[in-house]
């Protein structure tokens, strides 16, 4: 039996379903029906979204946007372990607390690199099309098991913590998926071609360094606008990357794609549109300036963007 990406989707859907159930049954929650309904819809999309008509899934997404837009997704008051219990547990565990967190990348890397050797009856154990994501899912499960063993707690407590973190992040959890799809919509709508026409008619792309700079900076700027590098990627790669860097300057597609996405991530550090990365942490830390995280990241983002331009120029 192949471990496919579908199992990971179902696992996420089940966790969201349990989160929704806990919210709906919490009578003290300020928006239990709206918030519970939001996570219920999201769970349904993960569980059976591929079986539903695309128009219906689109309608459900619109309902989710309306619920979030009208302030329906709020966090409830969740009962947690007392401060004394948590401090005592932290003192007992010490640095071993990092073991579950480090397990996730370790299992992901091992699973990805050894996937071609993991065979059962000549059939690959991990889905060849989504090896990294499946290995990542396995790593998350292993981390939860280790966390339960180390803390001597139950899986039920991990579900409660999943609910707490999900509610703390709120509707921003959905942004990466939504904005990633926005990039595909822009691509199908011909935005990439429009960008290519605009850029090639206003900027001389015959010079390689200019073409590289336009692509990398464009990835960062579109990410700032859209809030997600996955949304910017099809627009800039379809408009500049493929026709100019690959077609005109014969760039290495692998280097272009990798460094292009990294340039997009530089834009992620600079935008409030990437709310789950930049705005939510400021809220969780109760910082007085909601843009404090972005302000701290600006020097790093600009330095990395400059380095990406040089790297792509050298490696393309």
Domain layout of the chain by residue ranges: 5-69, 83-170, 190-315
Distance CA 298, CA 269 (A): 7
Q: 86-90, 117-121, 146-150, 199-203 — which one is most confidently predicted on average?
A: 146-150
Backbone angles phi, psi at 3, to 5 degrees: -80, 100
Whether the pTM exceeds 0.85: the reply is no
* 77 SS3 class: coil
Closest CA to 275 of 295, 300, 302, 293: 293
Q: What average pLDDT is seen over the chain?
A: 86
Structure confidence by residue, pLDDT tens digits, 139-182 = 999 999 998 888 888 888 888 888 888 888 788 788 777 776 77
Structure confidence by residue, pLDDT tens digits, 8-23 = 899 999 999 999 999 9
């Amino acid at each position: 039996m192949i471990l496919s990406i579908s199992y990971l989707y179902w696992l996420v859907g089940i966790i969201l379903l349990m989160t929704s159930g806990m919210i709906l049954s919490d009578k003290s929650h300020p928006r239990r029906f709206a918030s519970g309904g939001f996570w219920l819809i999201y769970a349904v999309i993960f569980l059976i979204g591929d079986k539903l008509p695309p128009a219906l899934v689109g309608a459900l997404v619109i309902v989710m946007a309306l619920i979030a837009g009208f302030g329906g997704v709020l966090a409830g008051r969740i009962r947690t372990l007392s401060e004394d219990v948590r401090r005592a547990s932290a003192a007992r565990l010490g640095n071993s607390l990092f073991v579950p967190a480090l397990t996730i990348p370790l299992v992901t890397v091992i699973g990805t690199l050894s996937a071609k050797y993991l065979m059962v009856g000549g059939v690959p154990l991990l889905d060849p099309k989504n090896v990294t994501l499946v290995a990542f899912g396995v790593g998350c499960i292993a981390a939860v098991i280790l966390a339960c063993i180390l803390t001597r707690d139950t899986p039920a407590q991990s579900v409660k913590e999943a609910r707490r973190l999900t509610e703390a992040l709120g509707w921003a959890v959905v942004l990466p998926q939504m904005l990633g799809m926005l990039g595909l919509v822009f691509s199908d709508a011909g935005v990439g071609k429009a960008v290519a026409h605009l850029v090639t008619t206003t900027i001389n792309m015959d010079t390689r360094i200019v073409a590289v700079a336009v692509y990398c900076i464009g990835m960062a700027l579109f990410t700032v606008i859209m809030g997600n590098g996955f949304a910017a990627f099809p627009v800039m790669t379809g408009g500049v990357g493929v026709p100019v860097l690959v077609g005109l300057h014969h760039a290495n597609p692998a280097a272009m794609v990798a460094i292009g996405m990294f340039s997009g991530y530089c834009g992620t550090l600079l935008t409030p549109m990437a709310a789950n990365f930049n705005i939510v942490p400021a809220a969780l830390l109760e910082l007085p300036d909601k843009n404090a995280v972005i302000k701290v990241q600006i020097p790093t983002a600009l330095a990395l963007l400059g380095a990406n331009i040089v790297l792509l120029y050298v490696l393309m």
